[in-house]
């Protein structure tokens, strides 16, 4: 089913699933945390505190937040290099993430991974992958482990409209359906694979249909409206959890920033970006709804904003003050030397 973009007045749309007050407020706060965190990361990159590649998630916040709201403890997630939001939403400490961005010893990977390579076994987050499409096979492997162990966890595999043209995606689709693995493939279609628009790179642009020849059900979802994201995610995750195998969600979303910090994004018009921001922003949609439903007042929302800013400032300060890893870390964590006898 194709759902068109919702606008700020989405709450009046009759077919939109409703969120409770708690859910709306939770979504607002989570998405705002990602937004402010990413803005701060962009700022710190500009100051030279963050090096290398840095891919920001601004604009796509509803996708990961809505999926997370429909998942349960124990479900794994794995994504590409645009991974900061995916970590924040599963509850990984923003301080550890930001300190990894600055290459500090207190970073999630002790400063040895960087923006694209962070992991948390505790939060079942498996990266953070720098190779486009690799996470699709790896995430299918996580689902394989779930089925092997007979637990009821589902692997949530995020990838973009660029990765969908990698061969291993289809190798994975095939085996996931062949073995009915508990995996949900979430295609974050932000319309540009770096600088190549979907139409210029894909012969078939309805990405939710990419699993059809394997018998994998898919649907296209308004990824800017968290209500639709969460509803579709609940359906997809239940499908996978109940043993029916993989499911594809094509999330129609948009990134406001360039592909990475050094991308001037000249391949799209300024109008396109500002129209998205003005009319479809995922956070503004929730905010408008909260105010309209009187779930909270402007002042109460300002308080949330203030709390979120404080978390981000704390993370930035922590990261800025995190020392570089000790030189002795150069040769650690390469292999585990104690062979079990």
Tell me which residues in 19-48 interact with other proteins (CB under 8 A). 39-40, 42-43, 45-48
CB of 255 to other proteins, least distance (A): 13
d(CA 17, CA 301): 22
Q: Which residue matches tokens 């105010």?
A: 291
∠ CA 42-111-166, rounded to 5°: 70
d(CA 22, CA 237): 21
For residue 121, CA distances in Å to 77, 102, 159 come to: 10, 22, 20
Given 12, 21, 74, 131, the residue binding other proteins (CB under 8 A): 131
Give start and end residues of each alpha helix (H) in 167-297: 167-178, 198-201, 226-241, 270-280, 282-292
Given 52, 74, 215, 243, the residue binding other proteins (CB under 8 A): 52
What 3-state DSSP class applies to 71? coil
Given 8, 13, 29, 112, the residue binding other proteins (CB under 8 A): 112
CB of 43 to other proteins, least distance (A): 4
197 phi and psi, to 5 degrees? -70, 155
CB of 59 to other proteins, least distance (A): 10
Cα end-to-end distance, the chain, whole Å: 55
Our finding on whether 335 is near other proteins (CB under 8 A) is: yes
CB of 323 to other proteins, least distance (A): 9
Our finding on whether 262 is near other proteins (CB under 8 A) is: yes
Judged by CB under 8 A, how many residues of this single chain contact other proteins? Answer: 79
Of 174-203, binders to other proteins (CB under 8 A) are 174-175, 178
CB of 284 to other proteins, least distance (A): 11
CB of 113 to other proteins, least distance (A): 4
Nearer to other proteins, 117 or 235 (CB): 117
Given 98, 118, 221, 240, the residue binding other proteins (CB under 8 A): 118
d(CA 265, CA 294): 38
Of 273-332, binders to other proteins (CB under 8 A) are 277, 320-321, 324, 326-328, 330-332
Nearer to other proteins, 25 or 142 (CB): 142
CB of 217 to other proteins, least distance (A): 20
Our finding on whether 242 is near other proteins (CB under 8 A) is: no
Of 141-170, binders to other proteins (CB under 8 A) are 141-146, 148-149, 167-168
Count of other CB atoms within 10 angstroms of residue 255? 21
Give start and end residues of each alpha helix (H) in 73-133: 84-89, 94-101
Element (H, E) at 156: strand 155-160
Nearer to other proteins, 196 or 205 (CB): 196
Q: Which residue matches tokens 């990261």?
A: 319
Is 52 within 8 Å of 273 (Cβ atoms)?
no
Nearer to other proteins, 238 or 263 (CB): 263
Given 14, 15, 204, 337, the residue binding other proteins (CB under 8 A): 337
């Amino acid at each position: 089913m194709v759902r068109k973009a919702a606008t700020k007045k989405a709450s009046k749309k009759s077919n939109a699933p409703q969120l409770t007050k708690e859910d709306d407020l939770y979504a607002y706060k989570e998405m705002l945390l990602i937004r402010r965190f990413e803005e701060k990361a962009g700022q710190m990159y500009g100051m030279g505190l963050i090096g290398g590649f840095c891919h920001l998630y601004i604009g796509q916040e509803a996708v990961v937040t809505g999926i997370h709201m429909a998942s349960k403890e124990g479900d794994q997630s794995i994504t590409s290099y645009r991974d900061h939001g995916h970590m924040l939403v599963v509850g990984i400490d923003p301080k550890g993430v930001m300190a990894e961005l600055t290459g500090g010893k207190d970073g999630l990977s002790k400063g040895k991974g960087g923006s694209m390579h962070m992991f948390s076994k505790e939060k079942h987050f498996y990266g953070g992958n720098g190779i486009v499409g690799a996470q699709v096979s790896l995430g299918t492997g996580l689902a394989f482990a779930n089925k092997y162990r007979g637990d009821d966890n589902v692997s949530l595999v995020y990838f973009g409209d660029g990765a969908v043209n990698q061969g291993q995606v289809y190798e994975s689709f095939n085996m996931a359906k062949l073995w009915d693995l508990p995996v949900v493939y979430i295609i974050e279609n932000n319309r540009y694979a770096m600088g190549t628009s979907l139409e210029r790179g894909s012969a078939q642009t309805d990405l939710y249909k990419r699993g059809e020849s394997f018998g994998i059900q898919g649907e296209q979802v308004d990824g800017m409206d968290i209500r639709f994201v969460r509803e579709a995610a609940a359906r997809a995750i239940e499908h996978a959890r109940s043993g029916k195998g993989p499911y594809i969600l094509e999330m129609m979303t948009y990134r406001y920033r360039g592909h990475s910090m050094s991308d001037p994004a000249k391949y799209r018009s300024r109008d396109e970006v500002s129209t998205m921001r003005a009319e479809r922003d995922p956070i503004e949609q929730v905010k408008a709804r909260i105010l309209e439903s009187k779930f909270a007042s402007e002042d109460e929302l300002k308080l949330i904003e203030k709390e979120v800013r404080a978390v981000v400032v704390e993370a930035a300060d922590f990261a800025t003050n995190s020392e570089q890893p000790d030189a002795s870390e150069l040769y650690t964590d390469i292999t585990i030397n104690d062979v079990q006898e």
